[in-house]
Structure 1
Amino acid sequence: MARRAQPLGAALPLGLAAGALVLALSLGTLGAVAWRAEGGTGLSPADWAAIRFSLLQAVLSAGLSCLLAIPVARALARRRFPGRGLLITLLGAPLILPVIVGVLGLLAVFGRNGMLSAVLDPFGLGPVNIYGLHGVVLAHVFFNLPMATRLILQGWLAIPSERFRLAAALGFGPGDVARRLERPMLREVLPGAFLVTFLICITSFAVVLTLGGGPRATTVELAIYHAFRFEFDLGRAALLSLVQFGLCAAAALLALGAALPTGFSGGLDRPLARWDADSSVLRLQDAAVLSLAAGFLMVPLMLVVVRGLPGLADLPPAVWQAAGRSVAVALASAVLCVGLALPIALAATRLGGARGAALQGTGMLAIAASPLVMGTGLFILLFPVANPVALALPVTALVNAAMSLPFALRALTPAVAEAARSHGRLADSLGLRGLARLRLVTLPRLRRPLGFVLGLAAALSMGDLGVIALFADPDQATLPLQLYALMGAYRMEQAAGAALLLLVLSLGLFWIFDRGGRVNAAL
């Protein structure tokens, strides 16, 4: 009865409209491509090999990313030290880093001519070969470890501080705290973190294209690219896209079925205090974990900075113009992403049960969609009524917002649900509805995830090179497209400078938005 009495207001129609738009962008564009296709011949042996490799590398990459993220998130959750906020922001840099820039950094460390090979060479161990399955998994862990850490860290911070106070009063040690508080939280948070990471890895394109090492290391997304780029076989591309949707849907069902609620009641938003990790051994353990994680993630980025500084002052005007266009697209994409995610999260929480889960699952569809298929479908739909080239930047902002939506929902939906559990009855008793309820009750509890979502969506859009490559002409090129053009022209010093500029802008946008809702910000 209490759930029925909750006022839905405008949340339900807005959430349904946002879900319908996501369906149109994901399944609708796929339908447009299939409609223009001339029929297919089924999956070839090479396609089946791509499916097997996609599953293998995605499971390994997501599993290692989440497994390594647990000790890193735990150390960040129970330690306060100078520079912690800066470290949290910097740990997110690989996630918002354009893929090709990150790959160049990894090659500088783990490549045949990289730092690790130089260290091993005097011992006769030979150069390191980063190409192949292990290189793909290494790159995916590099890019996705920060995301998994932030998602799991949000779960740690969601444990009410009163629970730790009670644990201290009962004399709980670290093992008791882990068993009674942390493990139930991980059972709720880990499936979602694994799912998001798995979906990113199974739809991977640039990493596999760069580090796969040959036809034996081909993902479904790369097979879709070959069907479009070299064969223009729309039927095969549509069939492979359906296969990719099926794989992602199966993973989503398994992950959602494995998640268990913690059963924690709401807290009083007091600062989190930890008494269970004061021993010197645990302090050293957390320091070692944070140092290793920071080294693994930061050294490649430092090399990008060092190699990019000489070329930064010699960038042509076209690069700076492209940077301005990228910032504009990123800001629009961030606003659109929140405009889609917040209504879906509110409506899914109010509906609850299977209907709420179905609406939330609709928002997650975008990560299973191929950006190449989405871009081609939009081109087909727009061509009869408008010039797709003229709409390249708005379409890019919309697609980038849709691709960021699953991350936004994973961050916003638990926070909205927690606000409803802890303050919903009080709001009902006071007669708070509509905008007043949103402004006074819900939004104050969404400060952290909203800042994170805005920063993440803007940064991901800054580094995207997908739809814009299908639509734009040189006069509308974004910064990643200009970077690729410089690399293709072998102007490597200027390309390194453009890569550094792209890194600075991406990290800067993320920091500006995330600052207001950073995990350690005072309320």
Structure 2
Amino acid sequence: MAQRAQPIIGASGFIAATLVIVVVALSFLGLGLRAEVGRGMGAAEWSAIRFTVVQSAISAVLSVACAIPLARALARRRFVGRGVLITLLGAPFILPVIVAVLGLLAVFGRTGWVNTGLGAIGLPPLSIYGLHGVVLAHVFFNLPLATRLLLQGWHSIPAERFRLAAQLDLPPAMIRRTLEWPLLKQVVPGATALIFVICLTSFAVALTLGGGPRATTVELAIYQAFRFDFDLARASILSIIQLGLAGGAAVFALWIIPNVTIGGGLGRTVHRWDMRRGGQAWLDAAVITLGSAFLVLPLLAIVLAGARGLPQMPVGVWATAGNSLWVACLSIAVLLAIALPMAGWISTRRAGGAEAIGLIGLSASPLMIGTGWFILINPVADPVALALPVTAVVNALMALPFVLRILVPPMRDVTRTYDRLARSLNLRGWVAWRWLVLPRLRAQIGFAAGLTGALSVGDLGVIALFADPDRATLPLQMYRLMGAYRTDAAAGAALLLLIMALSLFWICDKGGRWRAEA
């Protein structure tokens, strides 16, 4: 009998991790085959690098800066609908990017609600295109993420510390300096670095709101070199540059992201006696109202415009919706086949190299992997014919970092709790998974599957490189409708895509939690 617990894990986790490395390594090999190292970079490439770094830095700083007062207000206040609002903070994460962009255009675009109001009072309109639009969209997506991270940190401050501050009658300024400032110093750098990495690899936002010589990211430059010029050498060089930027930033982010817990407490609900003073209640109410409006109004605009545009959608939209659904289901299957054994493998090892393998998706962008695989496939097969399965596999790899964060902690609990039982009963392989692991991870598996499906059904990445009119997905079809100025039809497609993404997430998440074991 083995000295250590092997029955639950086996060798499948190591095999899954090896496959992930092979997929990314082969794409890198493809890039290396076409990259012309001595070619150097021109002014356009350096401009794309500068814009990518600048917009990512501005987006990350603004997202976290706006999240601090919002998270603080939510942590200090109790009001009707607070739980719903906190739940809605997770919506932009699963919201298809192209759908959110259309909602932002409806609110902040040239003919949007904000510019209509500005024109009514005689003020000049705002421009959503270029750097302003890219930053605005990134703040929309990442403000909720930063708020959730900071809110978790605020909730980790023991209630006893606030009780002691109240007994000592500390003024708000002293509470900020002694309790809140140490928390911010611990959480803010990691949250900023994480959002910076996410913004570095954002493609759909730059594609729809960027463009032009002064508003082109490295990802967008890869797409332009590939799709418009078919310059695979330039696309390969840019992909390697993107990998270096995002990979270095991801390593730095993982290095400085701390554990949010800053001290022990008795688990009581945090009561903030200091929040009753002065006009802080009004200030918190204003912050919550503005933050809620910024997140909710684009979603409302999508629903209103989409309801009018549904009848105007061309028939081909339904075929692309079927393609998107097929890609999402395949992504879920691939993801679970990789993530479950990897989570089991990682759970028996100390944090380090094993867990870092699953985080490749934060540094290897979909366009980089897609470009490398196109170069490898092109001499032996038609890459366009493999557009949908390649898109599904890449989408699964992009969701892998987030899914492992969901699965690994409960997997560690299972292996710790049932290690001796599994060894005494000689439970191995599939039997151990069937009776010990899967019943206790059903809720997490359902949530992970729903997250993967929602992200995949709305992704506009690899498919933009490979697809032709017969193999487009719904996000790509929606982008084409926007490019043809068929705004109403695009709004209808956006509503359909939103319904598909939310439905996939709800079905998988609800199915996982239905009669799940505690």
Distance 1:232 1:389 in 2: 14
| 1:22 partnered with 2:20 | yes
Contact 2:227/2:465 (8 A) holds in 1: no
Q: Is the 8 A contact 1:65 1:145 kept in 2?
A: yes
> 1:126-165 counterparts in 2 under 5 A?
126-153=124-151, 159=156, 164=158
Question: Please, which runs of 5 or more residues in structure 1 have no aligned partner?
Answer: none
Does structure 2 retain, via aligned residues, the 8 Å contact 1:277–1:283? Answer: no
Q: 1:366 and 2:361 equivalent?
A: yes
Deviations 1:35-88 (A, max 9, x none): 145655011122122212211111111122233334444555666655445434
Contact persistence 2:347–2:415 (CA under 8 A): no
Q: Look up the match of 2:270.
A: 274
* Matched letter for residue 47 of structure 1: E
**Which residue in the other structure is 2:325 paired with?**
327
- Deviation readout 1:436-488 (Å, 9 max, x if unpaired): 98789987886776555333322111111222233344343321232234334
Q: Please state if 1:307 is matched with 2:302.
A: no
Asked if 2 retains the 8 angstrom alpha-carbon contact of 1:416 and 1:442, the reply is no
The structural deviation recorded for 1:298 is: 1.4
Q: Secondary structure at the match of 1:275?
A: coil
Distance apart, 1:215 and its partner CA: 0.6
- Post-superposition offset of 1:142: 0.9
Q: Residue 501 of structure 1 is aligned with which of 485, 491, 496?
A: 496
Please list, as runs of the form range in 1=range in 2, the aligned pairs for 1:374-393 lying within 5 A after superposition. 374-383=369-378, 387-393=382-388
Q: In the alignment, residue 271 of structure 2 is paired with which amino acid?
A: W
Gaps of 5+ in 2: none
Distance across 2 between alignment mates of 1:347 and 1:166: 39
Deviation at 1:338, TM superposition (A): 4.2
TM-score by length of 1: 0.81
Deviations 1:275-316 (A, max 9, x none): 336844666555433322210011122122222212213434
Question: Following the alignment from structure 2 to structure 1, what is the Cα–Cα distance between the partners of residues 209 and 320?
Answer: 27
Partner of 1:454: 449
Offset at 1:426?
5.6
Contact 1:34 1:235 (C-alpha < 8 Å) held by counterparts: no
* Counterpart contact for 2:95–2:458, Cα < 8 Å: yes
**Aligned partners of 1:192 and 1:255 also within 8 Å:** yes
Distance of 1:155 and 1:333 partners within structure 2: 33
Displacement, 1:363?
2.0
Distance of aligned partners of 1:402 and 1:189 in 2 relative to their CA distance in 1, 3 Å threshold: farther
Report what 1:64 is aligned to: 62
Work out the CA distance in 1 between the residues paired with 2:84 and 2:38: 52
* Residues 288, 448 of structure 1: alpha-carbon distance in 2 compared, 3 angstrom cutoff: farther
Q: Work out the CA distance in 2 between the residues paired with 1:517 and 1:196.
A: 28
Please say if residues 58 and 198 of structure 1, whose CA atoms lie closer than 8 Å, have aligned partners that are also in contact.
Answer: yes
Q: CA, structure 1 residues 315+227, in 2 after alignment: closer, same or farther (shift >3 Å)? A: closer
Q: Is the alpha carbon distance of 1:348 and 1:246 closer, same or farther for their aligned partners in structure 2, counting shifts above 3 Å?
A: same
CA 1:507 to 1:149, structure 2 compared with 1: closer, same or farther past 3 Å? Answer: farther
Shift of 1:493: 2.3
- 1:201, distance to aligned residue in structure 2 (A): 1.0
Does structure 2 retain, via aligned residues, the 8 Å contact 1:241–1:369? no
Distance 1:266 1:28 in 2: 47
Distance 1:196 1:39, change over 3 A: same
Determine helix, strand or coil for the equivalent of 2:110.
coil
Task: Identify the match of residue 245 of structure 1 among 243, 246, 257.
Answer: 243
CA distance in 1, matches of 2:453, 2:101: 21
The equivalent of 1:234 in structure 2 is 232
RMSD, aligned α-carbons = 4.1
Counterpart Cα distance in 1 of 2:441 and 2:79: 25
Instruction: Name the aligned partner's letter for residue 57 of structure 1.
Output: Q
Give the whole-Å Cα distance in 1 for the aligned partners of 2:496 and 2:453: 15
The corresponding residue for 1:87 is 85
1:295 aligns with 2:322: no
* Letter aligned with residue 356 of structure 2: G
Q: Answer yes or no: is the 8 Å Cα contact 1:479–1:502 preserved in 2.
A: yes
1:274 alignment partner AA: V
How many residues in Structure 1 have an aligned counterpart in Structure 2? 505
Q: Shift of the alpha carbon at 1:497?
A: 1.0
**Take 1:342 and 1:445, find their aligned partners in 2: how far apart are those partners?**
13
Matched, 1:471 2:466: yes
* SS of residue paired to 1:313: helix
- The answer to which of 178-187 and 37-46 deviates more is 178-187
Aligned partner of 2:52 in structure 1 is 54
Letter of the aligned partner of 1:453 in structure 2? A
Using the alignment, how far apart are the partners of 1:314 and 1:273 within structure 2?
51
CA contact (8 A) 1:40 1:235 kept: no
Choose the corresponding residue for 2:208, options 201, 207, 210: 210
Partner Cα distance (2:178, 2:439) in 1: 29
% identical aligned pairs: 53
- 8 A Cα contact 1:191 1:256, kept in partner: no
Task: Quote how far apart the aligned CAs of 1:416 are.
Answer: 4.6
- Which letter does structure 2 place at the counterpart of 1:392? A
- Which one of 188, 193, 196 corresponds to residue 194 of structure 2? 196
